[in-house]
Chain A
């Protein structure tokens, strides 16, 4: 049971902070209504109005997001490998090169087939 005490304490703290912040904001925050409060983002650029009937959005966003995730995951694996580089030895190096090459193949495919051209 002792093992779980830190987890429980952390959970209680996290809950208390979240609930406390919301309660505090409700009590102390000023309430001045304006139209912008109803929009998705109160600051930054205006959200693009959706066409009638839901509409479509360009598949390019999806492609960019996917590319980002692929390289993000690559970095996630690169970090621990870099930290333990000399201990992993030559096997780790070869494996990592193979891994990066595989990702590069996907990148080459997208690049050659025009997936990176925005227009």
Chain B
């Protein structure tokens, strides 16, 4: 490899063109292409038409990417590296990319819903200013949301597919930067939303810096940023252990931040609460899938020979994530904050699958991610429907007696909560069972015991919400339930997936198992 490069750089010789497998990475290119087209739409299409053009464009981009991923999966010969080893196209990657794209489609239903009007009319207008009132009254929407969404999804597709650490960092940034912006675009409670965006940006930049420092140390250790080369170098057991262990720690820190594992979870409740709820749904599903995909690839490929080194630390992180997420959630009085802590606890459950470092661990984590993603999008979709004069009724006390006011929507939300708690016949149970089974087989039984205990603690606050909804009297001026067609579609899709993956999980379990048979390419 080195001689190849130095020959190419010698003066006079032709520089060989890299070989790019366009077909294999087309989902990424398609989504990013649509994002660029979206920017052009913003530039050249009149204000009244922008929304009408942007929404179908984004739908086509995501659906096209999903269809292409399915075709790649059906061809079943895609176990290769693409773009000169920068991206891996293999079973787990395609499963993750497909999951991200379908969940982004469901989130897009929420984002595109004008009935709920979650986004600011003009993000640049000062909160409470005349300009804000004027633009809001004119019914304008900040349609930049759609290209930003597509850029974010493009980054999410690159992040778990990247086969070297630099590509992974680019994916991380392409994913994160639009999300920071999207978090600050809420139509109501704008100061809270902007505060969330600034917090997410500052803490996210910190974690990116740690991630980058980790890359630098690992490059110092292995002389390469490719995951496979790092694994090979670590297998030879030569070189400076300080660089290696420091690199693993810093890289893991950057990844754990993105999935919101304790003690790197501080941003999650604030950001989930402040961000527009459709964006919260996107972050709680797609970003989590993407970050776990990258985590799995790094730990299964680059650090596969080093399980003894990183396992103890990950045990600790997983245990405190499960317990802290479940315990702190009990004290929450805001629905979105409560769901954020629930998401933290779920990140802990998912980490047990990563720690298993086996084929079963991989396939069960893939299944859990898909199942949890659908449930969480559905739950946040329900949150957008319960509204009062000031927008969404976020406080738990406002949800009192919702079961009498709107039995259907309260029933659906109760079902989602039971799925989070892991009650049998919901997808939550199947996912938890698969992950914990893999962890037991990998001799991590204490982790599973902690997982089951914290599931029981978590069940307490899920049931508390159900009790508040069904067994308390509604307030006189309680919130109303407004369900527009697009949001209803998102709720139905989330509900259908939660039921099907709970009652008939075998086809998707088989798919995840099939995706994981050859593990990650290197």
Contact present for A109 and B43 (CB under 8 Å): yes
List B contacts of A92 (CB < 8 A): 15, 17
B390 at the interface (CB under 8 A from A): no
Q: Is the CB of A102 within 8 A of B43?
A: no
Give complex CA distance A108, B36 in Å: 11
Q: In angstroms, how far is the closest chain B Cβ from the Cβ of A111?
A: 8
A100 to B13, CA, bound (A): 26
In residues 64-93 of chain A, which contact B (Cβ within 8 Å)? 84, 87-92
Q: List 7 A-B contacts (CB under 8 A).
A: A87-B13, A102-B36, A106-B39, A108-B44, A109-B39, A109-B43, A113-B42
Partner of B36, one of A88, A89, A105, A112: A105
Chain B residues with a Cβ under 8 A of chain A:
12-15, 17-18, 36, 39-40, 42-44, 124
Within 8 A of B (CB), among A27-68: 59
- The reply to whether A113 and B17 form a contact with Cβ atoms under 8 Å apart is no
A112/B17 in contact, CB under 8 A: no
* Contact A84/B43 with A102-B36, A105-B36 known, Cβ cut-off 8 Å: no
Q: When the two chains form their complex, are residues B44 and A88 in contact, meaning their CB atoms are under 8 A apart?
A: no
Are B43 and A89 within 8 A (Cβ)? Answer: no
A112 touches B44 (CB 8 A): yes
Q: Which residues of A contact B124 (CB under 8 A)?
A: 59
**Is A87 within 8 A of B44, CB to CB?**
no
Query: Which 9 residue pairs spanning A and B have beta carbons closest together?
Result: A91-B17, A112-B43, A109-B43, A108-B43, A87-B15, A109-B39, A105-B39, A88-B15, A87-B14
For residue A102, which residue of chain B has the nearest CB? B36
Q: Is the interface of A mostly helix, strand, loop or mixed?
A: helix
B15 touches A113 (CB 8 A): no
Tell me the complex Cα distance, A92–B36, Å: 21
Q: How far is B124's CA from A100's CA once the two chains are assembled, in angstroms? A: 28
B12 contact set on A, CB distance < 8 A = 87
Whether the pair B42, A84 counts as a contact (CB closer than 8 A) is no
Please indicate which of the listed interface residues A59, A89, A105, A106 has the most CB atoms of chain B within 10 Å of its own CB: A105
Q: Whole-angstrom distance between the alpha carbons of A102 and B154 in the complex?
A: 15
Residue pair A89, B14 in contact (C-beta under 8 Å): yes
Residues of chain B within 8 A of A91, CB atoms compared? 17-18
Assembly CA distance A112 to B42 (angstroms): 9
| Chain B residues closer than 8 Å to A84, beta-carbon distance | 15
**B17 and A105 contacting across the interface, CB-CB below 8 Å:** no
For the complex, give the distance between the alpha carbons of A92 and B12 in Å: 16
Q: Give chain A nearest CB distance to B235 CB in angstroms.
A: 28
Residues of A within 8 A of B42 (CB): 109, 112-113
The reply to whether A89 and B17 contact each other, CB–CB distance below 8 Å, is yes
Tell me the nearest residue of chain B to A107, going by C-beta: B43
Complex alpha-carbon distance, A111 and B13, angstroms: 42
Q: Within residues 103 to 119 of chain A, which ones have a CB less than 8 A from any CB in chain B?
A: 105-106, 108-109, 111-113
Give the Cβ gap from A3 to chain B, nearest Cβ, in Å: 15
Nearest opposing residue in chain A for B42, CB measure: A109
- Which chain A positions have C-beta within 8 A of B17? 88-92
* Bound Cα distance A11, B265 (Å): 42
Cross-chain contact A113 with B14 (CB below 8 angstroms): no
How far is A15 from B12 in the complex, measured between Cα atoms in Å?
39
Q: How far is the CA of A29 from the CA of B42 in the complex (A)?
A: 58
Question: A102-B36, A105-B36 are contacts. A113–B13 as well, Cβ < 8 Å?
Answer: no
